[in-house]
Amino acid sequence: AYAQSQPPAKNVMVHLFEWKWTDIEAECAYLGEKGYNAIQVSPPNEHAVKASDGYPWWQRYQPVTYELDKSRSGNLDQFKSMVDTCWKKHGVKIYVDAIINHMAAGDGIGSAGTSYKGASDYTLYDKDSTTYKYSNLDFHNQCGINWDEDVPAREIRDCWVAGGGLPDLKTESDWVRTRIIEFLNSMINMGVAGFRIDAAKHMNPEDITYIAANLNDLRSDEGWFYPGSRPFIFQEVIFGYGQDSKPSDYDNTVKGSNLNVTEFRYGTAVGQKFRNDDSGTISDFIKYNFPVASGGWGMLDSAFSVVFTDNHDNQRGHGSGYWTSEDDNSIGGIVTHFYDGRIYNLANVFMLAWPYGTPKVMSSYNWPRDVRCSPSGCKDVNDGVGPPSDGSGNTKNVACFKDWVCEHRWTSIAGMVGFNNYVQDAWNIGNTWHNDRNQIAFSRVTPTGAAKGFVIINREGYDLNRSFQTGLPEGRYCDVARTDYTLGSTKCDGSVIDVDRSGFANIQLSPMSASAIHMGSLMTET
């Protein structure tokens, strides 16, 4: 008999940015096997088509209708099939990126062929032979946000975002709220399990709370979710100094379920420490008590936070990201992203090992970065480039490790998802060690003091050879940060770590690498 414990919970999501539904459906077998809990998918409803801008990724942040018929990721049947297969066959949930603050700018024809007129005429959908529309009555007056000053909440929430370009919906009105609730419920009824609320900072918290309270429970017919399950909601609120619309306005609880918030300050801290910017090193996480359950370092409580190293915006200088130089392409603002290679890999190992928030792994595609600086600042002139395509806006199939970066399949990152699952109830840290610079180690420990996992990160240009107290029971463990390990397997095709009777293990780590073992990677009892 093996002493493996069952994973008490799954908590990690991955953002498959701009993937097609068919590719996601196929990927769910892998995601399920590695222990991923959920996928954030790109906006599934009809969106603007910006041919003259080369079909940028951001066209999908301009909704035209609430029909799911034809987005760049695919059609309705493909969407439904993905939702169905991912959950029922592989236990992986789908979270939809919901764009409900605004509609498409200007006039045009959407991805499913529907024509629209900016801020005055959008045919949302037809139901029961009634046509539902947004007219000019449904939008706030155009005004732009002046980010150069201390910005009042009203301006952030009622003015038009993206340089004053995106018609801002009156989310305080019954008509608009009802349309949004119908839109989100239509997806819940297909089996969708949650939503990222895009631009939440640009809506009043009461509007989001109202919408959340009126969403259906998740599907609970045969094979779906537990009756009474509520959708998982996380609101995109980018913290900004001097801005009077802030993360702590949004960490509400509705019908017993927490409305989460994207905690951008987490990615900033992790980026700075791992990149060694801001004169800090990764030992600071231990020395200065990086938050565990409750807040710290200015961050919200863990139970309300969705955390990530980078997202689709800041990895290209949008959102909270910014470029600082054109000489060194690796300085992509304050966050770390795939371009940083091993640094990025280790930052994700840390995120998936440390007990704070709901982690989100970014899965990107490559694009030809070209950062140019002028006195007014730096910008990647290719920051709009869409996913790998045929040149006419049709997305290619995913091929990992080529055009598609697939960070979620990197050995350490994928292995740490299982680690994260197996240490869920060990929400504290113990056996901490650091070298005062860029080497750290810690155990994940339950409230009664039992260790469930142990991790070491060596972000130095030299080896780390040392005997560590892991706190774990004696046995042979598969090192999931260095091995493609199948949870539950008695085989480890890679690196094995032996823990002795008193919990010690001799560990040898090469430069820029990590080691991690947990109760789910215990292969044999001795």
CB-based closest residue to ligand LM2: 165
Residue 317 sits at the vertex; the CA angle it makes with 314 and 321, to the nearest 5 degrees, is 50
Q: According to the binding rule CB under 6 A, does residue 199 interact with ligand LM2?
A: yes
- Which of 75, 87, 89, 92 lies closest to 35 in space, CA to CA? 92
Q: Which does 198 bind (CB under 5 to 8 A by kind): Ca ion, ligand LM2, none?
A: ligand LM2
| Among the residue ranges 159-167, 268-276, 361-369, 448-456, the one whose residues contact ligand LM2 (CB under 6 A) | 159-167
Binds Ca ion by CB under 5 A, chosen from 101, 283, 315, 439: 101
Least spacing, CB of residue 60 vs ligand LM2, in Å: 8
Q: In which residue are the tokens 């996992």 written?
A: 453
Q: For residues 355 and 316, what is the distance between their CA atoms, to the nearest angstrom?
A: 28
Instruction: From residue 87, give the alpha-carbon distance in Å to each of 81, 414, 417, 420, 505.
Output: 10, 19, 18, 20, 38
Active-site residue list:
198, 236
Is 319 or 355 the residue whose CB approaches ligand LM2 more closely?
319
Least spacing, CB of residue 379 vs ligand LM2, in Å: 11
Torsion of CA 307, 308, 313, 315, to 10 degrees: 150
Q: For residues 52 and 113, what is the distance between their CA atoms, to the nearest angstrom?
A: 17
Q: For residues 68 and 192, what is the distance between their CA atoms, to the nearest angstrom?
A: 13
Q: According to the binding rule CB under 5 A, does residue 168 interact with Ca ion?
A: yes
Pairing assessment for the beta strands 305-307 and 253-254 based on DSSP bridges: unpaired
Least spacing, CB of residue 168 vs Ca ion, in Å: 4
**Type of residue numbered 104:** A
Number of residues in contact with Ca ion, rule: CB under 5 A?
A: 4
| Among the residue ranges 196-204, 309-317, 353-361, 514-522, the one whose residues contact Ca ion (CB under 5 A) | 196-204
CB 62 within 8 A of CB 105: yes
Q: Return all residues near 394 (Cβ < 8 A) that are at least 6 apart.
A: 72
Q: According to the binding rule CB under 5 A, does residue 155 interact with Ca ion?
A: no
Binds Ca ion by CB under 5 A, chosen from 20, 202, 318, 482: 202
Among left, alpha and beta (phi > 0; psi -120 to 50; other), residue 162 is: left
Q: According to the binding rule CB under 6 A, does residue 58 interact with ligand LM2?
A: yes
Entry field: residues in the chain: 526
Is 159 or 426 the residue whose CB approaches Ca ion more closely?
159
CB 313 within 8 A of CB 17: no
| Among the residue ranges 76-84, 157-165, 368-376, 404-412, the one whose residues contact ligand LM2 (CB under 6 A) | 157-165
Residues 203-222 vs Ca ion: string with x where CB under 5 A? Answer: x-------------------
Residues forming the site for Ca ion (CB under 5 A): 101, 168, 202-203
Residues forming the site for ligand LM2 (CB under 6 A): 58-59, 61-62, 99, 105, 161-163, 165-166, 198-199, 236, 313, 318-319
